């Protein structure tokens, strides 16, 4: 059974078309209309091996926030849909990823219970303007939006970092690598990987 999803979401603030394939090779085609976010979502697809296509536009003349948030919401919804019945999942995974002076760790549980904990970003990071359109505060917001809409538990910890671009990219890549392993299928897992029998 193909673990794919395609979702279209249109509001007064944005229009999103997104498709993904959990069993891909990391092929991406990303146009969010926010250049730095394109870079981050491309990295997310590439390093998770999730094929990802996104076409989005919105009221970026006001702020990038709405479009960035809505893409994250749709990505989370598509991830949840593509996971299907969650049988034979690895389920838990973690990854620690460096980018020069930055070091980020992501721990993921495909739990069915949305939760996000993001810690360690330096004071003032939330106000950093990256690439002219993307503020540091949006990184945490993206992580939370993905976790809440995919029904996953995510712990994102920045262990080191100074440059805002490096911090953001290390965090997105850490999430990507953790997702890569968490969504894999393990033939040794019988049914749903939970003592409750449900995720």
Measured at the CA of 17, the angle between CA 59 and CA 142, to 5 degrees, comes to 65
In CATH terms, 4-182 corresponds, of 3.30.230.40, 3.40.190.10, 3.90.1300.10, 1.10.1270.20, to: 3.30.230.40
Closest CA to 170 of 101, 109, 123: 101
Residue 1: predicted pLDDT: 77
What rounded mean pLDDT belongs to the chain? 97
pLDDT at residue 88 is higher than 90: yes
For residues 91 and 199, is the Cβ–Cβ distance under 8 A? Answer: yes
Which tokens is 101 given?
Answer: 């002076």
* pTM (predicted TM-score): 0.97
DSSP annotation of 140 reads H
Q: Where are the domains of the chain?
A: 4-182
For residues 74 and 9, is the Cβ–Cβ distance under 8 A? Answer: yes
């Amino acid at each position: 059974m193909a673990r794919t999803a395609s979702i279209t979401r249109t509001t007064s603030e944005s229009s999103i078309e997104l498709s993904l394939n959990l069993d891909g090779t990391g092929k991406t085609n990303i146009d969010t209309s926010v250049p730095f976010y394109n870079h981050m979502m491309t990295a997310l697809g590439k390093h998770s091996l999730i094929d990802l296509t996104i076409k989005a536009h919105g009221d970026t003349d006001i702020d990038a926030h709405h479009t960035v948030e809505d893409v994250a919401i749709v990505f989370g919804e598509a991830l949840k849909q593509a996971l299907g019945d969650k049988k034979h999942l690895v389920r838990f995974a973690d990854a620690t990823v460096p980018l020069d002076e930055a070091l980020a760790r992501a721990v993921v549980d495909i739990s069915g219970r949305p939760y996000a904990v993001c810690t360690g970003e330096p004071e003032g990071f939330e106000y950093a303007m990256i690439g002219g359109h993307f503020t540091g505060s949006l990184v945490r917001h993206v992580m939370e939006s993905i976790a809440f809409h995919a029904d996953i538990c995510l712990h994102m910890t920045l262990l080191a970092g100074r440059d805002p671009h490096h911090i953001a990219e290390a965090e997105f890549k850490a999430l990507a690598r953790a997702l890569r392993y968490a969504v894999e299928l393990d033939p040794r897992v019988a049914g749903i990987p939970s003592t409750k029998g449900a995720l």
